Amino acid sequence: MKKKRISRREFIGRFAGVAVGSLAMPHALQMAVEAAPASTPSIPDILVVKNGSPAEMTRKVIDRFGGVGALVKKGSKVVLKPNMTWALPPTLSGNTHPEVAKTVAELVMKGDPKEVIALDHPLRPRAFEISGVKPALEKVEGVKVLKIDEEKFYRKVEIPGAKVIKEPILVSTDILDADVIINIPNAKTHGSTIVTFGMKNWMGVIFDRGYFHRNGLGECIAELSSSIKPALVIVDATRITLYGGPNNRNPKATRNLNMLIAGKDQAAVDAYTLGIAQWQNRTYKPKEVTQLRYAAEIGVGRIDVEKLKVEVIDMKA
């Protein structure tokens, strides 16, 4: 008997998890699976760029990963996820450096996308403005800055294969519908998760943070990360918060490193970033950080830093 052939889309739909009601699988994840680009041996797992201006280093990162054309196709919907959640000035490290976010947006616009949205769910009033990120992004023609602080900006979805997130959650509709997602977090400590880098930055694309805190924050972050596939992660380590959490206003907690850390594997980028400093006055291994350990267990990405291909570009060399 002749076997019935199924389409690639049908295959993905059957094995990537069941949607809630008529809800589809997150669009960026679907695009990533369908495109299935071959890995390029010359591209490093981790790229470190240091000792340049924030804008110069950002341009170097995008260039090293093939330029904007390798990330953004004409007519695509692009979502940028900087951190702009704390009402802290750019001199402190609570948010993404405005020039890093602005430069990413400028480069993305050169790819002739259909739509570019930079979004976050802030925890403090006027955080967008005080952080300097919103004013910087608004200088880039064609970029929409969106504060997703109301339920209307979300869609309820089930996370495929999740064991900790046991019920549908509200995730940013724009994230779900994006063709390309670029994650632009900054590096700092956190009271519950030790550190907050790339994967933790997805807390700004869900509506109910309390659900994650009640059900296992690190595990929930890892499971959410399994369904959000960024085309690139750029961790802003131009200045980092060493202790006291993400909203620390003490200037002594901020260290200027003048560094960006980038890669396509979000778990690997986070694991590498963990090793650039002591956090809360101690050194951590990736397996000691719940969201990293669990992310590796469920296949989000790699945390075996010693086996990663790391490239360092010193712009003063």
Give the model's confidence band at 25: pLDDT under 50 very low, under 70 low, under 90 confident, else very high: very low
Q: Cβ neighbours of residue 63 under 8 Å, at least 6 residues apart?
A: none
Amino acid at 64: R
Domains recognised in the chain with CATH numbers: 43-314 (3.40.50.11440)
DSSP label at residue 18: P
> Cβ distance 77 to 294 under 8 Å?
no
Rounded to an integer, the average pLDDT of 94-107 is 98
> Cβ distance 198 to 270 under 8 Å?
yes
Of the candidates 78, 150, 154, 135, the one whose C-alpha atom is nearest the C-alpha of residue 110 is 78
Give the model's confidence band at 17: pLDDT under 50 very low, under 70 low, under 90 confident, else very high: very low
Phi, psi of 293, deg, nearest 5:
-60, -45
Rounded Cα distance, 15 and 240, in Å = 40
pLDDT score for 13: 37
Global pTM?
A: 0.88
Alpha carbon distance, N-terminus to C-terminus of the chain: 66
Rounded Cα distance, 29 and 267, in Å = 16
User: For 257-302, what is each residue's pLDDT tens digit?
Assistant: 999 999 999 999 999 999 999 999 999 999 999 999 999 999 999 9
Give the model's confidence band at 101: pLDDT under 50 very low, under 70 low, under 90 confident, else very high: very high
Rounded to an integer, the average pLDDT of 91-115 is 97
pLDDT score for 210: 96
Rounded Cα distance, 317 and 303, in Å = 29
Residue 52, SS3? coil
pLDDT score for 16: 37
Torsion, CA 238, CA 70, CA 30, CA 151, rounded to 10: 40
Q: What percent of the chain shows pLDDT beyond 90? A: 86
Rounded to an integer, the average pLDDT of 132-151 is 98
